[in-house]
Structure 1
Amino acid sequence: MPKKVTGVPKGASLSQHRQENVYLAIQAVHQAESLSIQLLCEVAGIPRSSYYKWLSHKPSPRQLENQELTEVMMSLYHKVEGIFGCRQLTLHLRRMLEKRINHKRIQRLMEIKGIQSVIRRKKKKYPRSTPQHVAENLLNREFQADAPNEKWVTDVTEFKYGHGQKAYLSAILDLHDNTIVSYVLGHSNNNPLVFKTLELALESVSECKPLIHSDRGFQYTSTYFKEKLDAANMKQSMSRVGRCIDNGPMESFWGTLKCEKYYLHNYRTFDQLKNDIDDYIHFYNYERLQRKLNGLSPMEYRTKAA
């Protein structure tokens, strides 16, 4: 029985791939129903000679390589529940296969298999608050840091579960390596949620006084939060009014977390939501490769810096 050729060589069109599917269908029906090749070719509208030419065709090394690459790609894609797009699949396949792989090749194979990253975006709503303390935008969209624990960004985002119940996630992200330094999931969007996140972050570092940037949410503009930062000798920075891009890296992480985990599931309980967030943040910190980190995960990049 001839080998099935599922890989498409570089430069081959999707129409050629569809033509190959016709040949495979003829082969399958012939074997299952014992119908004549002549009849099946007439129904499909192709010359019988073309079918037999395909039948005797031997796959090229490139086609065999594409077949292997496609199998590994699909296995990885299903493992991560479809959250990876072309760039992420390319990064992971390069590491898994220890080969230089062009992202355009992966994009072509994804088109052939009919897969794409699962993406869903939701706009964030910003509650109005009366600030007790406002800081200048010291970060000024300079989102690069030369060393760990030099610049932190922080924010709170909302999740829904059960029957309209809400949970709130507070997190701190290090701009040097995009590591989530600390996070707390709670039932209420309040001061203790944010203060606990800061305390956990400070416990994880020693002799570091990072700049911390946030929006103008009521927790961050409170006098008590300012007192905590002063006690830790930390400088505070805040986004300008209505300029969410001033805290872009944190907004980007929320979008990634929700697209790659939260929007893919329905959560009945707080514990189910918490377990998935715990799992995802560990995956994000230790396993999710990032192109701007030279193809390393945040913790790998952080460890190399240390």
Structure 2
Amino acid sequence: MVKVQKNVRTPDQEILKLVKQLEAQHKHCVGYDKMTRLIKRERLSYTVNKKRVMRIMKEHNIKADYRQPKRKRVQEQETYEAQNTLNRQFEQAAANRVWVTDTTESAYNIRKYKVRLHVVLDLYGQYLLSWIITPTETSTGAIKVFQMAKQKAGGLAP
């Protein structure tokens, strides 16, 4: 018959004590991976691996209480969608009836700098009415290019 001493701690109990101590010391923000590394620093007489620490923490419901990273939430920008009046009929019978616009971004100097090209086209002859290059893509560039097209054509297209 083998006598078991009551004061002798099993390795799991000793690890649990260390886990609770380190949790309090690190303000409950240590997961099993970092906890294993911290326990290995204690130079115990037996080996401690991640699975063992994970099992002990799971059995005693010890979890890392860490703050979720904040998300940068940009307010949704308003988008304006016009009715599809062309129905993909891009061939026009007269000038200054339909204008279309586009903005294209171009990078230069090994993609360090970017510029935006805003253009307005007349669909009748598919020729350029006006264009402008801006450093940023904003609505002011699009408005300005339409104002330039209005001055050149003598009015806005219907």
Structure with higher Rg: it is: 2
TM-score by length of 2: 0.48
Q: Normalized against structure 1, the TM-score is what?
A: 0.26
Which structure has greater helix proportion? 1
